[in-house]
Structure 1
Amino acid sequence: MDDCVANFPEDIVKEILLRCPVKSLLRFKCVHKNWYALIKTPNFVQQHLNCSKNNPPQLLLYNTGNYGDRYDSRSLTLISEENPQTFKGMAYLLGSVNGLFLMFGVIDHVHSCALWNPATREVRLLHLPPPMINDRPVFGLGLDLLTNDYKVVCYLCENLAAVYSCSRDSWRIFKHRIPFFTGVKQTFGTAYSNGVYYWLLRGCRPSYYTVLLFDFGSEMFEGIEGPHIHTYVFGLMLVDDSIAILSLNDLNMSDYAIWVMIQPGVWNKLVTFQCFPFIKSCYDSSLILATRTSRLISYNVRTNKLKDLAFQRPGIGKHAKASGCGVFYYNESLVTIKQRHDGELDH
């Protein structure tokens, strides 16, 4: 086997490996020491990530138990694989950023969070800094584009937040008056794009919405006035890399509208449409829907086309609050979250 591998030109081997899925590459690391060394290099990891973005995304479907269960009794289980991972105490999942997810919940009565790469099955527990005053901490996951450092932001309490840096393996607590958090009644949805994380917030008045953003490069918060929508708001999504709000007609639960932010504080109604009521998540300009027969469908709001995702499982044709079932579309990556011996993270 080694003789056959040695006869392949290195550039051809690299081009072939770049087009292989992550699970295959993890096995191929055992084939030859040169392959092992190549697959681990940061340059190969980045090139493979760029290639994977041109491939069809992977479907990740998970269950966090039933709505109403105690937080410390819930667990996150991946149910779209034959040998699923289960994380006791984890009840929420955010993602993905270059194939990485952030999960958080309550373990032994303590708020906990962890980074997770489902393709490589790596997990990195992040010990939250005190004081964890907020009963339901607000999290965000993103990439500092200048330093290529994966970071987690956590709103601890009023005027106090913390940022975790993977490269430093530490939290930085800082005081900052976070715009619009005073008087906020509910956090509706989140989105991530180009190094910036977004939260959709609703204030004391039902139709008053604001968007809070955090820039992982400058590590600063900023508030943007949202549209005045008198219908139910489902959450945030991305439409052609622009932040958008998905709203639902209270009188007809199948009528939706999408409002796109064309510049900070200026919103335009992009499209109205009708679709299934069980929306699970958003991916690019598409919604991931579940039919009443528990089959997953994607709906592209730009092209108005439906696509069967070839996945069916009893129980997913329910609202997330009722079933505890969530769906993500994501691109697999080799990005590692393991700690090096020297204390630095291998990107």
Structure 2
Amino acid sequence: MQRSEMVEGKREKEVLPLDVVINILKRVQVKSLMRFKCVSKEWLKLLERNPFFTKQQLEYSTGNNALLLLQRVHRQPQPDPFSTCLIGPHHHHLIDESHLSDIVSPAAKILASCNGLLCLRHTTALSILNPATHQIRQVPIENLSAFNYVGFGFSPLADDYKIVRISMCIFAPDNQVVVLDNVRVERVEVYSLASGFWKEIDAAKLQPLCIVSSSVAITGSIFWLATKTSDSDTDSEFVVSFDIGRDLFTLVNGPPFQHSSSHPYSNNVLAVHNDKLAMFRHYIVGAFESCWFDLWVLEDLHGDYNNNTCDGVGGSWVKMYSVGPFSRIVYPLSLWGDEIVCREEFSGQENDFRGVETLLALFNPLTKELKNLPAHRDEFFYVPFTYSQSLVPVPDLLQH
């Protein structure tokens, strides 16, 4: 055997099997994977056009390297660039992502995060962004207004990402002050990233409702909080659930409400706990003197898709824990793993025109430890999202 043939045979033996290469590369940060496309044609094909590898990388990133994505929103109205930061699993590690301002408009607001993709709202426009790959596409949409509620999620059943727009209508005379009692759902449209088309769907059961929260998504579903005005002293509360694969809505009654003789002010926040819908019931006592909150998880969703009435059906809500009372106001914002992302409020100095100072923190419900996050105190509002870096491509969203 000639020397050249021996060398060539040795090289062939040194080539790793594809499954081993995938197992190694799925653990690498997306920023590095983007550079690895230059290694060879085979790697370029693997990293750009191999759905199996994209799925493997996403599953590993979601299970092992889920990040906390914070959008900075400046307290004072000013044309600041779009700004986000990432906090890693060790909490003290902050990754600045301000370079996204080069491709994202200053007015953009993050609406949702799903599989490494972000749904952005730019005043009267929508777009889909993959921050890791810097892919961004505009979503064809008309007449996007302040009374539109937008959700974004993925259905493995349909293998499709969808955007849901719920349009609200004001039922009040022009000279009357707009209150939630006068705002109702008017219509619902769904956009499929796979097909590139919008379509209107039946929303009869939503039309008596007023949507009162931003959306959260779990695998296959998108959720909102909604209320319905009743003749009694309290309004009816519902969770609106949208099945992404079947384009169908169902309504679920919320978890039990804790009534107190002190009549605390309360508000509710939707969250995701281990890929299940969760809700914080947040209670503030007296003149914002103290607070506590409960976390409820929906263990069994069994809605009636064929019922067009606005009557919610049962769901098995289980209380996971109660937190507090706190001696100050602590607002639960979302869940990141097993910890709660919170906004703390402190009374400002008497000569401080802002009045209240805020701080972003993580609360561990098991250890009762409250840890400050590495964010600029009181300079910004922070809107939190769970985010996993991925290679999921953003398709061309121009309508066919």
TM norm. shorter chain > 0.5:
yes
- Cα distance in 1 for partners of 2:65, 2:205 equals 38
Structure 1 unaligned spans of 5+:
317-322
Written as runs of structure 1 = structure 2, the 5 A alignment for 1:308-319 is 308=371, 311-315=374-378
Task: Tell me the secondary structure at the aligned position of residue 83 of structure 2.
Answer: strand
Work out whether 1:221 is the aligned partner of 2:234.
no
Q: 1, 5, 8: which one pairs with 2:15?
A: 8
- Preserved CA contact (<8 Å) 1:232 1:247: yes
Work out whether 1:324 is the aligned partner of 2:396.
no
Q: 1:60 to 1:36 in 2, by over 3 A?
A: same
Give the drift of 1:114: 1.0
- Preserved CA contact (<8 Å) 1:65 1:75: no
Query: Match for residue 266 of structure 2?
Result: 232
Q: 334, 337, 356: which one pairs with 1:281?
A: 334
Give the drift of 1:329: 2.7
Give the drift of 1:296: 4.9
Task: Tell me the secondary structure at the aligned position of residue 30 of structure 1.
Answer: coil
Q: 127, 148, 156: which one pairs with 1:114?
A: 127
Give the drift of 1:98: 0.9
- Share of identical aligned residues, percent? 24
- Preserved CA contact (<8 Å) 1:122 1:338: no
- Cα distance in 2 for partners of 1:8, 1:305 equals 51
Q: 239, 243, 254: which one pairs with 2:291?
A: 254
- Cα distance in 2 for partners of 1:300, 1:104 equals 32
Q: 1:183 to 1:39 in 2, by over 3 A?
A: closer
Q: Deviation digits for residues 218-250 of structure 1, max 9, x if unmatched?
A: 101111122353551231122333322212222
Amino acid of the structure 2 residue aligned with 1:50: E
Q: 220, 230, 241: which one pairs with 1:195?
A: 220
Amino acid of the structure 1 residue aligned with 2:255: P
- Preserved CA contact (<8 Å) 1:208 1:227: no
Written as runs of structure 1 = structure 2, the 5 A alignment for 1:139-178 is 139-157=150-168, 158-178=185-205
Q: 1:96 to 1:255 in 2, by over 3 A?
A: same
Q: Deviation digits for residues 231-290 of structure 1, max 9, x if unmatched?
A: 512311223333222122220543111233344534343321126715443234431135
Q: 1:121 to 1:254 in 2, by over 3 A?
A: farther
Q: 1:155 to 1:139 in 2, by over 3 A?
A: same
Amino acid of the structure 1 residue aligned with 2:321: V
- Preserved CA contact (<8 Å) 2:240 2:250: yes
Give the drift of 1:305: 5.4
Query: Match for residue 53 of structure 1?
Result: 62
Query: Match for residue 239 of structure 2?
Result: 211
Query: Match for residue 179 of structure 2?
Result: none
Count the aligned residue pairs.
Answer: 323
Task: Tell me the secondary structure at the aligned position of residue 110 of structure 2.
Answer: strand
- Preserved CA contact (<8 Å) 1:212 1:222: yes
Query: Match for residue 271 of structure 1?
Result: 321
Query: Match for residue 354 of structure 2?
Result: none
- Preserved CA contact (<8 Å) 1:160 1:176: yes
Greater CA radius of gyration, 1 or 2?
2
- Cα distance in 2 for partners of 1:51, 1:225 equals 35
- Cα distance in 1 for partners of 2:158, 2:396 equals 17
Work out whether 1:335 is the aligned partner of 2:398.
no
- Cα distance in 1 for partners of 2:11, 2:189 equals 48
Amino acid of the structure 1 residue aligned with 2:219: N
Task: Tell me the secondary structure at the aligned position of residue 311 of structure 1.
Answer: coil
- Cα distance in 2 for partners of 1:145, 1:24 equals 28
Task: Tell me the secondary structure at the aligned position of residue 141 of structure 2.
Answer: coil
Give the drift of 1:308: 4.9
Task: Tell me the secondary structure at the aligned position of residue 47 of structure 1.
Answer: helix
Work out whether 1:102 is the aligned partner of 2:155.
no
Amino acid of the structure 2 residue aligned with 1:332: Q
Q: 1:207 to 1:176 in 2, by over 3 A?
A: closer
- Cα distance in 1 for partners of 2:46, 2:190 equals 32
Task: Tell me the secondary structure at the aligned position of residue 246 of structure 2.
Answer: coil
- Cα distance in 2 for partners of 1:335, 1:197 equals 20
Q: 196, 204, 208: which one pairs with 1:182?
A: 208
- Cα distance in 1 for partners of 2:291, 2:81 equals 31
- Cα distance in 2 for partners of 1:237, 1:62 equals 17
Give the drift of 1:203: 3.2
Query: Match for residue 47 of structure 2?
Result: 39
Give the drift of 1:201: 1.7
- Preserved CA contact (<8 Å) 1:208 1:228: no
Structure 2 unaligned spans of 5+:
1-7, 87-95, 169-184, 260-264, 302-313, 347-356
- Cα distance in 2 for partners of 1:176, 1:310 equals 41
Task: Tell me the secondary structure at the aligned position of residue 245 of structure 2.
Answer: coil
Q: 1:63 to 1:310 in 2, by over 3 A?
A: closer
- Preserved CA contact (<8 Å) 2:227 2:238: yes
CA RMSD of aligned residues (A): 3.3
Q: 1:315 to 1:280 in 2, by over 3 A?
A: farther
